[in-house]
């Protein structure tokens, strides 16, 4: 069964450093999403991506964040200068055109020290 994969599973970084979180969506899906879940809080939408551009973003997704689809399979989230409050679990999701279900990856736990 096809699935969304994410790497790394856990990343530890120093405040101010850049991080790139990687996702491989399901191969025939065209809608991609990033969500985050701060420990003990609800899952929050960050950004959606379709047709090689951002289709919607939340207030959380400021200039420190960017997304990219560098090739035909990967979808990345970059945080340019991490803050302590960026510590969270980051989930990637993808969705096929004409369908409503988003398939989630296992997440990357980001710890900013």
- Name the nearest CA neighbour of 98 among 54, 57, 50: 50
Smallest separation, CB 113 to other proteins (Å): 21
**3-state SS string over the chain?**
CCCCEEECCEEEECCCCCEEEEEECCCCCCEEEEEEECCCCCEEEEEEEECCEEEEECCCCCCCEEEECCCCCCEEEEECCCCHHHCEEEEEEEECCCCCCCEECCCEEEEEC
Q: Is 102 in the site for other proteins (CB under 8 A)?
A: yes
Q: Is 43 in the site for other proteins (CB under 8 A)?
A: yes
Q: Which of 19, 48, 67, 86 binds other proteins (CB under 8 A)?
A: 48
Smallest separation, CB 102 to other proteins (Å): 6
Smallest separation, CB 15 to other proteins (Å): 25
Q: Is 25 in the site for other proteins (CB under 8 A)?
A: no
Length of the chain: 113
Smallest separation, CB 107 to other proteins (Å): 5
In the complex, the residues that contact other proteins under the rule CB under 8 A are: 4, 31, 33, 35, 41-45, 48, 50, 55-56, 58, 91, 93, 95, 100-107
């Amino acid at each position: 069964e096809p699935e969304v994969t994410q790497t790394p599973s856990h990343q530890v970084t120093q405040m101010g450093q850049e991080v790139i979180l990687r996702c491989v969506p399901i191969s025939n899906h065209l809608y991609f999403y990033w969500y985050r879940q701060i420990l003990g809080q609800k899952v929050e939408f960050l950004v959606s991506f379709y047709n090689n551009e951002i289709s919607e973003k939340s207030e959380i997704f400021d200039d420190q964040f960017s997304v990219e689809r560098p090739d035909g399979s990967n979808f990345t989230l970059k945080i340019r200068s991490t803050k302590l409050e960026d510590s969270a679990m980051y989930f990637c999701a993808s969705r096929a055109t004409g369908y409503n279900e988003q398939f989630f990856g296992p997440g990357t736990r980001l710890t900013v020290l």
